[in-house]
């Protein structure tokens, strides 16, 4: 028994994980104590960060320094903490609509400012100086868009450096000559771990610094840190990690920062079932990045074998929000069996603080190589177009009095309303509103069409798909958000 235990502990030591597993578990379990609760959804803005920067700036342990400005004049701030020789630089949201890691950075700052985990924090802050550059593209964040105000993808501007945001990142990297870099992004929720139905909740890349994809010591260390973080994520989201293709992109920041001599890790936050605002993913960012910082401080990542990096499954993009298989679809009097891949696309409301859904059929046919966050086997069910409700209404409020489940059961998916307020873009009940003058086209399902239909068996509707949301008509169950308005 003793020998077995000794062997097990030796094995654990070899992989470099044993010393860190406890802190990881503790970080996960105590997360709520440090979560920055003022940043609770994805569409965060630059002004929301300012009180947090003032709070941390008042703490003697932190230095908050303005290091640049966006095109529209929003300050770019660098928050530094620690007194160690090893410099770690983390930057987030160079793409304005990729905020998950920005939130995680403020959680990490709260953790570092707290009185807890004294021993581990001493280790971290004596060995490292950590620099955070959150929300590198505040103008893009303001509009919840990828590009900056110049219309440029900052991640293709690492060499030409036309954007002030790009210049700032380059200047900060060079002036610190950072040993480690964390390049923090979000990716589409439709990425999956290759040949599995598991979403790529987190994807990693140790970017190449040349076309040959050579592995230098610096890049090798980035790979080791990734292997370390992958092991953490596997604990909380098993199978939900992907590895990005490492083709060299000479214009990208990750590739260049690797080239300039910083061990660079790209982290992409993807999707996680029933986590629209990505708050569970944010927590996984917090836990894995903090654990990575700890392993860099302790230098025990050095024992990790690089070969483990290649074993992480590749990223793929084969997920839909809803996948319907084997539905019978009648076209010109003939029946066909089709699968449908449906995505619920977000449309921002004015001010880019909130959104509604306008769903689309993304693909149809044999989709056997694809997966869904939600799937329905529609074998034996026939697709039918929903009808327009016989009675028409003066105003939208009247429709709110109807019982939508009863309507759907009777085959109605549209209700006619005379006066639809001009500023109304979406409707909260699972029936579409159509204006008096709107002529409903007959159902022809194809890529790009809004997925709205009934699935019938023996002439009776059993399921409804309304704006891409599946509703079980027997139980009324369905994670419905909004229907559309047609004028």
Q: Which is nearer to Zn ion, 266 or 361 (CB)?
A: 266
Q: Which is nearer to Zn ion, 95 or 143 (CB)?
A: 95
Nearest approach, Cβ of 169 to Zn ion (angstroms)?
Answer: 13
Q: Which is nearer to Zn ion, 121 or 143 (CB)?
A: 143
Assigned token pair, 157: 């501007």
Q: Which is nearer to Zn ion, 36 or 98 (CB)?
A: 98
Nearest approach, Cβ of 201 to Zn ion (angstroms)?
Answer: 16
**Composition of the chain by helix, strand, coil, percent to 5:** 30, 30, 40
Q: Which is nearer to Zn ion, 95 or 282 (CB)?
A: 95
The DSSP letter of residue 349 is: P
The DSSP letter of residue 90 is: E
Site for Zn ion in 238-267 (CB under 5 A): none
Stretch of residues binding Zn ion (CB under 5 A), selected from 57-65, 105-113, 182-190, 428-436? 182-190
Nearest approach, Cβ of 185 to Zn ion (angstroms)?
Answer: 3
Nearest approach, Cβ of 94 to Zn ion (angstroms)?
Answer: 6
Stated length of the chain: 487
Q: Which is nearer to Zn ion, 284 or 327 (CB)?
A: 284
The label of the residue with tokens 């319907």 reads: 324
Assigned token pair, 370: 């694809």
Nearest approach, Cβ of 97 to Zn ion (angstroms)?
Answer: 9
Nearest approach, Cβ of 91 to Zn ion (angstroms)?
Answer: 11
Give the whole-angstrom CA distance, residue 240 versus residue 192: 7
SS3 assignment, position 318:
coil
Per-residue mark of binding to Zn ion, 88-127 (x: CB under 5 A):
-------x--x-----------------------------
Helices and strands in the chain: count of H runs, count of E runs: 13, 24
Residues touching Zn ion: how many (CB under 5 A)?
3
Q: Does residue 147 touch Zn ion according to CB under 5 A? A: no
Nearest approach, Cβ of 98 to Zn ion (angstroms)?
Answer: 5
Nearest approach, Cβ of 34 to Zn ion (angstroms)?
Answer: 25
Q: Which is nearer to Zn ion, 111 or 191 (CB)?
A: 191
Site for Zn ion in 66-95 (CB under 5 A): 95
With left for phi above 0 and alpha for psi between -120 and 50, is residue 102 left, alpha or beta? alpha
Task: Give the residue at shortest CB distance from Zn ion.
Answer: 185
Q: Which is nearer to Zn ion, 270 or 372 (CB)?
A: 270
Stretch of residues binding Zn ion (CB under 5 A), selected from 180-188, 306-314, 317-325, 474-482? 180-188
Q: Which is nearer to Zn ion, 95 or 278 (CB)?
A: 95
Give the residue, chosen from 46, 74, 147, 185, that forms a contact with Zn ion under the rule CB under 5 A.
185
The label of the residue with tokens 């597993």 reads: 21
Name the residue among 169, 222, 231 with its Cα closest to residue 202. Answer: 231
Q: Which is nearer to Zn ion, 270 or 386 (CB)?
A: 270
Site for Zn ion in 414-443 (CB under 5 A): none
> Which uninterrupted H or E stretch holds 284?
helix 279-298
Nearest approach, Cβ of 288 to Zn ion (angstroms)?
Answer: 18
Nearest approach, Cβ of 398 to Zn ion (angstroms)?
Answer: 45
Neighbouring CB atoms inside 10 A of 316's CB total 18
Exposure string of 333-357, with b = 16+ CB inside 10 Å and e = fewer, is eeeeebbbbbbbebeeeeebeebbb
Q: What is the DSSP string of 270-281?
A: ---TT-TT-HHH
Give the whole-angstrom CA distance, residue 327 versus residue 336: 8
Q: What is the DSSP string of 20-85?
A: HHHHHHHHHHTGGGT--TT--SS---HHHHHHHHHHHHTSTTEEEEEEEE-TT-PEEEEEEEE--S
SS3 assignment, position 224:
helix
Stretch of residues binding Zn ion (CB under 5 A), selected from 113-121, 185-193, 245-253, 391-399? 185-193
Footprint on this chain of Zn ion (rule: CB under 5 A):
95, 98, 185
């Amino acid at each position: 028994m003793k020998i077995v235990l000794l062997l097990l502990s030796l094995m654990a030591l070899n992989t470099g994980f044993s010393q860190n597993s406890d802190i990881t578990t503790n970080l996960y379990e105590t997360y709520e104590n440090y979560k920055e609760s003022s940043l609770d959804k994805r569409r965060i803005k630059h002004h929301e960060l300012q009180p947090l920067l003032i709070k941390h700036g008042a703490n003697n342990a932190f230095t908050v320094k303005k290091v640049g400005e966006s095109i529209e004049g929003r300050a770019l701030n660098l928050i530094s903490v620690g007194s160690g020789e090893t410099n770690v630089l983390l930057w987030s949201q160079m793409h304005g609509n990729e905020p998950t890691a920005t939130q995680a950075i403020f959680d990490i700052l709260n953790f570092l400012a707290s009185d807890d985990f004294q021993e581990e924090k001493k280790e971290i802050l004596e060995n490292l100086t950590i620099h955070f550059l959150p929300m590198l593209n505040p103008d893009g964040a303001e509009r919840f868009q990828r590009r900056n105000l110049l219309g440029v993808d900052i991640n293709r501007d690492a060499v030409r450096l036309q954007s002030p945001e790009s210049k700032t990142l380059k200047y900060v990297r060079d002036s610190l000559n950072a040993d480690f870099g964390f390049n923090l992004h979000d990716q589409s929720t439709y990425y999956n771990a290759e040949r599995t139905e598991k979403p790529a909740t987190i994807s990693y890349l140790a970017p190449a610094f040349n076309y040959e994809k050579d592995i230098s010591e610096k890049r090798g260390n980035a790979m080791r840190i990734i292997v370390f973080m992958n092991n953490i994520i596997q604990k909380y989201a098993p199978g939900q990690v992907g590895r990005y293709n490492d083709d060299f992109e000479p214009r990208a920041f990750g590739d260049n920062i690797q080239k300039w001599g910083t061990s660079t890790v790209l982290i992409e936050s993807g999707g996680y079932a029933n986590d629209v605002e990505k708050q569970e993913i944010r927590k996984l960012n917090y836990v894995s990045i903090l654990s990575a910082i700890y392993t860099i401080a302790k230098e025990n990542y050095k024992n990790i074998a690089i070969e483990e990096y290649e074993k992480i499954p590749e990223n793929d993009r084969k997920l839909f929000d809803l996948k319907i298989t084997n539905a019978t679809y009648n076209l010109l009097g003939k029946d066909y069996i089709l699968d449908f891949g449906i995505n619920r696309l977000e449309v921002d409301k004015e001010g880019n603080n909130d959104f509604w859904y306008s769903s689309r059929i993304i693909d149809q046919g044999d989709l056997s190589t694809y997966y869904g966050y939600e799937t329905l086997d529609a074998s034996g069910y026939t697709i039918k177009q929903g009808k327009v409700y016989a009675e028409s209404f003066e105003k939208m409020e009247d429709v709110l009095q109807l019982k939508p489940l009863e309507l759907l059961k009777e085959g109605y998916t549209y209700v006619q309303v005379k006066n639809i307020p001009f500023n109304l873009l979406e409707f909260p009940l699972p029936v579409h509103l159509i204006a008096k003058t709107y002529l409903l086209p007959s159902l022809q399902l194809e890529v790009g069409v809004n997925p709205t239909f009934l699935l019938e068996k023996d002439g009776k509707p059993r399921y409804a798909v309304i704006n891409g949301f599946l509703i079980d008509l027997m139980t009324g169950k369905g994670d419905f958000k909004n229907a559309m308005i047609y004028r």
